Structure 1
Amino acid sequence: MSEQPSQSVLSQAQDLASKLADTVSDSLDLDNKSDIKAQSALPVLHIDEQAGSDAEGTGAELSPFATLLAAYQSLKPAPDSDATPTSTASFLVRKADSVEHNEWVELSTSARKKLIKGIELWRKKEMKRDADGAKLDKEKREAEERDRKKKEEAKAVVLIDDSSKGHAPKTKLHQVPTMVGSRIRMKGWVHRFRSQKTNFFLIIRDGSAFVQCILTGDCIRILDALELTVESTVEIVGTVEKVKEGQTAPGGVEVLVDWWKLLGKAPGGSEAFEGKLRADTDASTRANLRHLELRGETATSVMRVRSLALRAFRECFHARRVIEVTPPCMVQTSVEGGSTLFEFDYYGEKAYLTQSSQLYLETVLPSLGDVYCIQESFRAEKSLTRRRVDYSILHLSEYTHLEAELVFIEFEDLLEHIESMICEVVDILLADPISAEVIHTLHPEFVAPKRPFMRLDYRDAIKYLNEHEIYKDEVKKDEGKKDEGRKDERKHHEVGDDIAEAAERRMTDQIGRPIMMIHFPKKIKAFYMKTLASAPDFTESVDVLLPGVGEVVGGSMRIADLEELMAGYKREGIPSEPYYWFTDQRKYGTTEHGGYGLVSAERANRALKIKDQR
């Protein structure tokens, strides 16, 4: 008979089993807590496919990423975690197409696989970029080494300014075509530069002309040749030769260089002159770089023609014994009035920059007779005006103004004078080889105006515009606005309208000859203009219009009668007191007189098809 365990032994065994079970349970709890703690230690990144931003997101709930890959990349993970990206972070996604868009969900299996593939592609691109970077670095080092060796070799080459080859007198570039066969010395800027294996071709300029130079032999092996850039200044000695048949060069000649040196090196690379201004550079950038744009061929040509045109006007005035005077630029009265005056404080009093010197020119008629001035005028334009709709991107604030006043004349005398001046100035410009070349280069279709100019009364012009369906809104069409659905808006011109320039130009182009439009309404003209005896509501005024250009001159006879002038002040609401000195011209020996004005820079730009006033 087996022996049964005592009650105390059973009790002890039960206690031991219970304690063992508690120990195991505690151990399992610790393991679970450890796993939870490890899991909660991972960063949580939020990805919102619709509202997130890879560029600005941080992964926080209020600043989510847009893509999983960007979220993963933000961790800067090591490559060994690429296969298990969820071991680096917890990704919570809000899908763009989910029914409950506000719900954050854990990364799905398919999304995790897609992320892993994206990571693989990213790593490959990184490796390629690093390899390309290393290759570029190697190529850069090799290029730098080659350049260093070239410079070392170039330093050993020395050019000698050998006087035994013949005397080389200092020569301006415009003189070069007359010195074929001679050895000369020139200085200038490198305008264009083209290098070949055995030759360098340079076009240099000094302001007077352009000359082509050819460098060979040691001339292209010296250190200066390696550092040569466009707009650098150089000194060159060489022999002038005619260009070979079938080839072209400025002036029909070229200089074979035997010695030269770099005087002032212009920067290359990112600061190179060629990269500063391009054909598509906007007007604002061009304005900021105006000091550099002036070196360009078009700007140079315009300045040259402008200079020659001013000289031609002076010659024509001199031949007519019209005297040049210099009126003030700071004035206390205005000719036209309006909101475009530049106002400033002049020792406690209001003053303005002049818009016209006409009134001041009239004051010297009794002492000098016929007079003119070429002077800067100023206009504080607030926006694009109809007068500049085709040609000005930014406001025209300063311009060169040519004005003349003639005494003891009648209206027909004024018209004849203006007509002859325009034709003679153009003839002078076309007779000058320099200005003629520039004019025909910039405007190949330019044709000199022929006399007599057509006389067109303002009222007949209104009739022409309406008969030929040139509407009052032509200026809007000129500004490039869409014309669709605007037929009902079109309005015919009426007597009293200030005809828009676009309409004037279209009419002039259709007629195809110079026009003197005369007798404008008094209400759209200045207070000082003389009225027609036969039609008091109209004036003895004129605008000269040229095909392809538009208005070039505006003028009128001036009021000579004191009472009529005072009535003009009153009609326009102009106080007469500040104009006492102008009124006195009618008080102390009045006479018939008239004048005109031409904005030379602006009109020259139009004639030459230059669209930007600056």
Structure 2
Amino acid sequence: MKTTISNVKNHVGEQVTIGCWLANKRSSGKIAFLQLRDGTGFIQGVVEKSKVDEEIFKKAKQLTQESSLYVTGVVRVDERSPFGYELGVENIEIIHEASDYPITPKEHGTEFLMDNRHLWLRSKRQHAIMKVRNELIRATYEFFNDQGFVKVDPPILTGSAPEGTTELFHTKYFDEDAYLSQSGQLYMEAAAMALGKVFSFGPTFRAEKSKTRRHLIEFWMIEPEMAFYQFEDNLQLQEQYVSHIVQSVLKNCSLELKTLERDISKLEQVVPPFPKITYDDAIALLHKKGFNDIAWGDDFGSPHETAIAESFDKPVFITHYPTSLKPFYMQPDPNRPEVVLCADLIAPEGYGEIIGGSERIHDYHLLKKRLEEHHLDEAAYKWYLELRQYGSVPHSGFGLGLERTVAWICGIEHVRETIPFPRLLNRLYP
């Protein structure tokens, strides 16, 4: 019977055949231990000389790393294994014999591994990270579908910059200028006026010449927008969503988190409500912690976000940033127009901002004024202004960066490991 590694739990005591690759092996004189992988998981195959034909045992001893195989054997419970099962191998059929596989069990430098990313993905650690990423994606669709959201796909090619920045990838769109999308937000606002509650999930691009461990040139964003949602409604949805995806990973990826040696006690605390701190209070907190160089009106860098997060054991909202620091579309606080009704959600353990969100300006005249203040071409935003002319309502939204969230949940140092083929400042290969 053909099966997969992830499904062997249903075949204890039965003979099965698994199509797989040899990840690694070790052997003594009379027994060979084969570390097998098939994409769904990893299992140890045990080949005992006394129980197989001499040819099979010789084949097992000579197998090379990453050779592809059909392995037949009986599934056994193995309480010593994190996976819980092993395979008593009875037959091996070689599909393709690999030679000189470049990634060996020894230590390799990061650049070497990145040059071989197409092969590095096969390793146990990278497999675990990709499985956690997949669970976050699955849980995201589950959450928003259960909440009555409609998935909408905004364009990747746009004629303007939603954030009003110059860090854009420019291309020619026949005889006019176009840019790779930095965010689907403005289009999602239009969709929310049609469908109520919407979310997008797609690639975004930032031509930012940054080399930090938190930045990618191409990354994936989850961007919900909700009609009739005000500032506090938006924060409540965010904490429900983040809690849902974290708890889903804890429930469905326990083996992967073990592989990554993740301290799950910190993730288990990620349940609503999340603490909130205003920008004003965050500045005061930083001064108490010795960051005397930061003044009101300055933006926070990674060290500042980390220092703020250290004061809490859950993700923390920093709210009410100065209007001057944020994009043109954010709604001012009616009681204090020098700050906006926005929040950044800062992950614990030094992982920084994973969500940026706000209530959006819904007044036509105020939005028109903001476009002028930011020196943005009103003609390019004509359609966006029209959303405020035809049945405007209070509305809010946010964007979550998938890769930063994966890095935090997995407890890994750099976002380059959180996406299958990272695009970095000096890397477009493979």
**Compared CA separation, residues 294 and 567, structure 1 to 2 (3 A):** same
Any idea what the Cα deviations from partners look like across 1:117-137, whole Å, max 9, x if unmatched? xxxxxxxxxxxxxxxxxxxxx
Any idea what the Cα deviations from partners look like across 1:333-372, whole Å, max 9, x if unmatched? 1111323211111102111110100001011112211000
TM-score, normalisation: structure 2: 0.91
**2:239 is aligned with 1:405:** no
Equivalent of 1:467, from 255, 273, 288?
288
CA distance in 2, matches of 1:170, 1:253: 17
* Aligned residue number for residue 530 of structure 1: 331
**2:40 is aligned with 1:212:** no
* Aligned residue number for residue 17 of structure 2: 185
Any idea what the Cα deviations from partners look like across 1:86-112, whole Å, max 9, x if unmatched? xxxxxxxxxxxxxxxxxxxxxxxxxxx
Q: Could you list the runs of 5+ residues in structure 2 that have no partner in the other structure?
A: 417-430
Any idea what the Cα deviations from partners look like across 1:143-182, whole Å, max 9, x if unmatched? xxxxxxxxxxxxxxxxxxxxxxxxxx11111111221211
Equivalent of 1:457, from 263, 270, 278?
278
* Aligned residue number for residue 99 of structure 1: none
**2:364 is aligned with 1:562:** yes
Equivalent of 1:579, from 376, 381, 387?
381
Q: Could you list the runs of 5+ residues in structure 1 that have no partner in the other structure?
A: 1-168, 472-490
Do 1:231 and 1:273's aligned partners in 2 also have CA atoms closer than 8 Å?
no
TM-score, normalisation: structure 1: 0.64
Do 1:527 and 1:568's aligned partners in 2 also have CA atoms closer than 8 Å?
yes
Written as runs of structure 1 = structure 2, the 5 A alignment for 1:110-509 is 169-217=1-49, 218-219=52-53, 221-222=55-56, 224-225=59-60, 227-243=62-78, 248-267=80-99, 271-275=100-104, 278-282=106-110, 284-384=111-211, 389=212, 391=213, 396-432=216-252, 435-442=253-260, 443-445=262-264, 446-448=266-268, 449-469=270-290, 471=291, 491-509=292-310
Do 1:200 and 1:220's aligned partners in 2 also have CA atoms closer than 8 Å?
no
Q: Give 3-state SS (helix, strand or coil) of 1:341's partner.
A: coil
Q: Which has the higher helix share?
A: 1
CA distance in 2, matches of 1:546, 1:250: 29
TM superposition shift of 1:468: 2.2
* Aligned residue number for residue 42 of structure 1: none
Aligned-pair Cα RMSD in Å: 1.8
- Between Structure 1 and Structure 2, whose CA radius of gyration is higher? 1
TM superposition shift of 1:493: 2.0
CA distance in 1, matches of 2:134, 2:21: 22
CA distance in 2, matches of 1:610, 1:220: 44
Number of matched pairs: 409
CA distance in 2, matches of 1:226, 1:466: 63
Do 1:182 and 1:240's aligned partners in 2 also have CA atoms closer than 8 Å?
yes
TM superposition shift of 1:250: 5.0
584-593 or 511-520, which deviates more: 511-520
Do 2:190 and 2:387's aligned partners in 1 also have CA atoms closer than 8 Å?
yes
* Aligned residue number for residue 420 of structure 2: none
Q: Give 3-state SS (helix, strand or coil) of 1:576's partner.
A: coil
CA distance in 2, matches of 1:400, 1:219: 51
Amino acid at match of 2:329: Y
**Compared CA separation, residues 519 and 532, structure 1 to 2 (3 A):** same
**Compared CA separation, residues 606 and 251, structure 1 to 2 (3 A):** closer
Equivalent of 2:348, from 547, 553, 565?
547
Do 1:374 and 1:402's aligned partners in 2 also have CA atoms closer than 8 Å?
yes
229-238 or 211-220, which deviates more: 211-220
CA distance in 2, matches of 1:351, 1:505: 36
**Compared CA separation, residues 510 and 219, structure 1 to 2 (3 A):** farther
Percent identity over the alignment is 30
Amino acid at match of 2:254: A
**Compared CA separation, residues 278 and 569, structure 1 to 2 (3 A):** farther
TM superposition shift of 1:194: 1.1
Q: Which has the higher strand share?
A: 2
CA distance in 2, matches of 1:220, 1:538: 77
Amino acid at match of 2:346: L
Point out which structure has higher relative CO (alpha carbons under 8 A, 6+ apart). Answer: 2
